[in-house]
Amino acid sequence: MKHMTLKEISKACQGTYFGPEENLEKSVSSVVIDSRKVQKDSLFIAIRGARVDGHTFITKTIEAGALCALSEENLGDVDFSYILVDSCEQAMKAIAEHYRRSLDIKVVGISGSVGKTSTKEMIASVLSQKFNVLKTEGNFNNEIGLPLTIFNIREEHEVAVLEMGISHFGEMTRLAKMARPDICVLTNIGCAHLEHLQSRDGILKAKTEMFQYMNPNGTIIFNGDDDKLISFVPENKIKPIYFGFDDSLNYHADDIEDMGMHGTTAKFITPSSEFTAHITIPGEHMVYNALAGIAVGYALGMTDDEIKKGIESLVPLAGRNHLIETANLTIIDDCYNANPASMKASLDVLAKADTRTVAILGDMFELGDDADAMHYEVGAHAAQIGINVVISIGEYTRFLSSGAKNQNKGTEVHHYATKADFFKEMKNVIKPHDTILIKASHGMEFPEIVEKCEAF
- Residue ranges for the binding site for ATP? 112-118
Answer for the pair 192, 114: CB distance below 8 angstroms, yes or no.
yes
Answer for the pair 151, 96: CB distance below 8 angstroms, yes or no.
yes
Longest dimension (CA), the chain: 76
Integer Rg of the chain from CA: 24
Residues 6+ apart with CB under 8 A from 260: 282, 352, 353, 354
**Residue 314 to residue 325: CA distance in whole angstroms:** 18
Residue ranges for the known binding site are 112-118
* Burial class for 265, CB neighbours closer than 10 Å (0-12, 13-18, 19+): middle
Q: Which of 286, 277, 269 is nearest to 305 (CA)?
A: 277
* Burial class for 90, CB neighbours closer than 10 Å (0-12, 13-18, 19+): middle
